[in-house]
Amino acid sequence: MKKLTTLSSVLALCAGAAAADGILNVYNWSDYIAEDTIAKFEAETGISVNYDVFDSNEVLEAKMLTGASGYDVVVPSIEFMARQAQAGVFAEIDKAALSNYGNLDQGILDIIAVNDPGNTHGVPYMMFTTGIGYNVKDVAARIDADKIGSWDMIFDPETVAKLADCGVAVLDSPSEIMAPALNYLGLDPNSEDKGDLQKATDLLMSVRAHIRYFHSSQYINDLANGDICVAVGYSGDVLQARDRAAEAGQGVEVAYAIPKEGGQVGFDMLAVPDDAPNPENALKFINFILQPQIAADITNYVYYANPNTAATEFVVPEVAGDPGIYPPADVAAKLFSLKPHSPRFDRSLTRAWTAIKTGQ
Ligand code: N2P
């Protein structure tokens, strides 16, 4: 018995040592990976993954700027990653360790390089638009057809007032709501002008009473269950709500619109914190994600477009042909992307956002 105990404790120690070498700590957006991606990575590499989720860049940024997050891979949007990289938060990506890097679309890498010169600090993961998810029947019963799929559903007091009773939700994301508000007013969505920020703040204040809540992931289930009828949300999340509604079979029909006035297109990046405990495993994970079939599996599951050219042939036709996931050229022409904020503008924006949320 004694011997057995000794043997098993030795084995346990070995297993412990192996696990210490074989760990990866991932911090990703909620609802942003296929069901089997992590299991496949663990099976292929023997690395065991701790997987945590967040739903806003601000939450991730606070962790990154504090440091010692313990994460090996995180997923900031490019405009947030750019300034975090400037603060020295991320390691340089060793592209020589990524045999699948060549699968990435060079055109997309070039766009990203505007904010991450040389594509030094991140590898693009998925792309999204920010638009309007809505309950088809509830909305049709309340507003004119020509208002459906317009930012009027959020920013025109008269229109949003008609939707308030069935529930309007807005992302708790200052930059991603202020930008379309500015755009709606005919201003530059990336303006850092104080007067422009005041105009956009006034616009949001004028509709504030009709907004039920600000949250960046709750709307998926609420749309699917018919508990709200409009949400400013992320493309794939709204499309996941559409599927959940259809599966529930309760007659709720959800649709996604990239508003006709234009909306934000964004890029989320795989990045490795400078103090990551397992940086080699981080690169193994990134290289794994860059496999065409793996990237396509994620797109097919979460309804976000990936930047992997070699994955295209594995994206199923319903997804590849969905204009909410792969916007057609005329819609794409109206999309805008966000630039990194200066710290000064960011402070004003945070103050304005608090005022908007509290309605004061
Ligand atoms: C996933 C949201 C990802 C798009 N739920 C926003 N970066």
Please write the tens of the pLDDT for every residue from 77-135.
Answer: 999 999 999 999 999 999 999 999 999 999 999 999 999 999 999 999 999 999 999 99
In angstroms, what is the span from residue 27 Cα to ligand 1's centroid? Answer: 12
Strand-pairing partners, residue 48, are: 23
**Domain covering 2-125+267-326, topology:** D-Maltodextrin-Binding Protein; domain 2 (3.40.190)
Looking at the CA of residue 237, tell me the nearest atom of ligand 1.
5
Looking at the CA of residue 57, tell me the nearest atom of ligand 1.
7
Place 21 in a pLDDT band, splitting at 50, 70 and 90.
low
CA gap 301, 324 in Å, rounded: 14
To test the pocket of ligand 1, the residue of 33, 234, 338 to mutate (highest count of ligand atoms within 8 Å of its CB) is: 234
- Domain ranges in the chain are 2-125+267-326, 129-265+337-358
Q: Whose Cα sits closest to atom 3 in ligand 1?
A: 29
- 235 in Cβ contact with 131 (< 8 Å): yes
Asked if 2-125+267-326 and 129-265+337-358 have one fold, the answer is: yes
Phi, psi of 264 (to 5 degrees): -85, 135
To test the pocket of ligand 1, the residue of 177, 268, 269 to mutate (highest count of ligand atoms within 8 Å of its CB) is: 268
Helix (H), strand (E) counts: the chain: 17, 9
CATH top class, domain 129-265+337-358: alpha beta
Place 18 in a pLDDT band, splitting at 50, 70 and 90.
very low
Looking at the CA of residue 220, tell me the nearest atom of ligand 1.
5
Instruction: Show the tokens assigned to 85.
Output: 């990289």
* pLDDT at res. 5: 45
In angstroms, what is the span from residue 253 Cα to ligand 1's centroid? Answer: 22
Please write the tens of the pLDDT for every residue from 132-156.
Answer: 999 999 999 999 999 999 999 999 9
Q: Whole-angstrom distance between the N-terminal and C-terminal Cα of the chain?
A: 71
To test the pocket of ligand 1, the residue of 26, 28, 29, 61 to mutate (highest count of ligand atoms within 8 Å of its CB) is: 29
Instruction: Show the tokens assigned to 233.
Output: 């949300």
Residue among 153, 134, 145, 148 at smallest CA distance from 252 = 134
Q: Strand locations in 119-253, DSSP E?
A: 123-135, 168-170, 213-214, 230-234
In angstroms, what is the span from residue 236 Cα to ligand 1's centroid? Answer: 8
Please write the tens of the pLDDT for every residue from 186-231.
Answer: 999 999 999 999 999 999 999 999 999 999 999 999 999 999 999 9
Q: How many CB atoms lie within 10 A of CB 268?
A: 24
The residues near 93 (Cβ < 8 Å, ≥ 6 apart) are 119, 120, 121, 122, 123, 271, 272, 283, 286
Task: Supply the angle between the helices 343-358 and 174-184 in degrees, to the nearest 10.
Answer: 90
Query: Taking the model in full, what pTM does it have?
Result: 0.93
Residue 12 has pLDDT above 80, yes or no: no
Please write the tens of the pLDDT for every residue from 233-265.
Answer: 999 999 999 999 999 999 999 999 999 999 999
Pocket of ligand 1 (CB under 6 A): 29-32, 77, 128, 234, 237, 266, 268
